[in-house]
């Protein structure tokens, strides 16, 4: 299986963001012929007011981005892990991943479990819970014989979730993100490598990059694919674009046989 991770600079123009995502997916498919394309977190809308974010939330399967990604997957005959988008749910929303197969059918849905309520170095505060609800379900889906686990951005800091994904059979864990510049420069690759090593899985992380919210907030970028030994095998440079790598589940199985850490786990 070949995976492409897409790197975007989404803004508060939903129609343009969807068009940009379509163009980037088309380019990745034309150049690298991946089996799975991964979009970043909140690829449909970044920045704006609380009211505008709610107004641009989707109801599934009726939303504009949902329909566009479903149609694109069917047109290009490619599987699309559609980053995340705001899913309308009353006064608040879920931060939700939808996965489409080559026929454009939804095959998985994951709602972000860990909400980003922090103050990062530099004084910026992020209160995701102001507009978002937390999900509850740990989601692994099967894609053409490969089991794929779902996580989103801040989930990366919670290894217990990744262990649950591994225990449910995940061989690849996909993480759409909008990691801040302040935390990303010090923690992004280190955390991704740690999660890959701990679970002995591939980790494919697609990211937002550059400024959002009228320049007030910056994302780190560096969309990465990490192998089960913790080695970075694809890294998107500092620009909008994509990076691709082949996933060798046989290699993951070999590592799990030779170092069976899952069998050695002791619950305290």
Q: Count CB atoms within 10 A of the CB of residue 39.
A: 28
- Give the model's pLDDT for residue 268: 60
For 5-17, write each residue's pLDDT tens digit: 999 999 999 999 9
Q: Could you give the dihedral angle defined by the CA atoms of residues 176, 181, 183 and 184, in that order, rounded to the nearest 10 degrees?
A: 50
Q: Which domains does the chain have, with CATH numbers?
A: 2-264 (3.60.110.10)
For 158-203, write each residue's pLDDT tens digit: 999 999 999 999 999 999 999 999 999 999 999 999 999 999 999 9
Q: Count CB atoms within 10 A of the CB of residue 16.
A: 11
Stretch 39-50: mean pLDDT: 94
Stretch 126-141: mean pLDDT: 92
Phi and psi dihedrals of 110, rounded to 5?
Answer: -130, 130
Helices (H), 93-152: none
Give yes or no for residue 267 having a pLDDT over 90. Answer: no
Q: What per-residue string of b and e applies to 60-82 under the rule 16 or more CB within 10 Å gives b?
A: beebebbebbbebbbebebbbbb
- Give the model's pLDDT for residue 239: 97
- The Cα 158–Cα 198 span in angstroms is 12
182 within 8 A of 216, measured Cβ to Cβ:
no
Stretch 116-128: mean pLDDT: 78
| Tokens at 146, concatenated | 């490969």
Give yes or no for residue 257 having a pLDDT over 90. Answer: yes
Name which residue leads in pLDDT, 266 or 224. 224
98 within 8 A of 106, measured Cβ to Cβ:
yes
Stretch 26-49: mean pLDDT: 96
Give yes or no for residue 123 having a pLDDT over 90. Answer: no
For 82-95, write each residue's pLDDT tens digit: 999 999 999 899 99
54 within 8 A of 93, measured Cβ to Cβ:
yes
- The Cα 139–Cα 164 span in angstroms is 9
Tell me the pLDDT band of 129, cut-offs 50, 70 and 90: confident
- The Cα 227–Cα 199 span in angstroms is 11
Stretch 200-229: mean pLDDT: 95
228 within 8 A of 202, measured Cβ to Cβ:
yes
Q: Which residues belong to the active site?
A: 41, 112, 153
* Phi-psi domain of 103 (left: phi exceeds 0; alpha: psi -120 through 50; beta: other): alpha
Tell me the pLDDT band of 204, cut-offs 50, 70 and 90: very high
Stretch 253-268: mean pLDDT: 90
Give yes or no for residue 77 having a pLDDT over 70. Answer: yes
Pick from 43, 127, 44: nearest CA to 92: 127
Mean predicted lDDT score pLDDT of the chain: 95
Helices (H), 107-247: 159-167, 181-183, 189-199
- Give the model's pLDDT for residue 120: 72
- The Cα 159–Cα 225 span in angstroms is 18
38 within 8 A of 204, measured Cβ to Cβ:
yes
- The Cα 188–Cα 219 span in angstroms is 11
For 17-32, write each residue's pLDDT tens digit: 999 999 999 999 999 9
| Tokens at 81, concatenated | 């892990």
């Amino acid at each position: 299986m070949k995976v492409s991770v897409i790197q975007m600079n989404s803004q508060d123009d939903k129609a343009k963001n969807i068009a940009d995502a379509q163009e980037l997916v088309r380019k990745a498919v034309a150049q690298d012929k991946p089996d799975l394309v991964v979009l970043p977190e909140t690829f449909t809308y970044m920045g704006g007011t609380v009211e505008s974010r709610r107004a641009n939330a989707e109801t599934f399967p009726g939303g504009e981005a949902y329909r566009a990604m479903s149609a694109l997957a069917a047109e290009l005959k490619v599987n699309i892990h559609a980053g995340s988008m705001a899913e309308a749910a009353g006064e608040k929303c879920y931060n939700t991943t939808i996965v489409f197969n080559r026929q454009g059918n939804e095959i998985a849905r994951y709602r972000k479990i860990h909400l980003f309520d922090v103050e990062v170095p530099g004084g910026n505060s992020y209160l995701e819970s102001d507009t978002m609800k937390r999900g509850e379900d740990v989601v692994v889906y099967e894609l053409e014989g490969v089991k794929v686990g779902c996580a989103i951005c801040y989930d990366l800091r919670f290894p217990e979730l990744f262990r649950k994904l591994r225990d449910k059979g995940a061989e690849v864990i996909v993480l759409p993100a909008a990691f801040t510049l302040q935390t990303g420069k010090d923690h992004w690759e280190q955390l991704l490598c740690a999660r890959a090593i701990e679970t002995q899985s591939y980790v494919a992380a697609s990211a937002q990059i550059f400024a959002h919210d009228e320049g007030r907030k910056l994302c780190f970028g560096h969309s990465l694919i990490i192998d089960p030994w913790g080695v970075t095998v694809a890294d998107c440079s500092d620009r909008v674009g994509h990076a691709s790598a082949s996933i060798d589940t046989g290699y993951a199985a070999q590592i799990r046989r030779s170092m069976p850490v899952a069998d050695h786990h002791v619950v305290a």
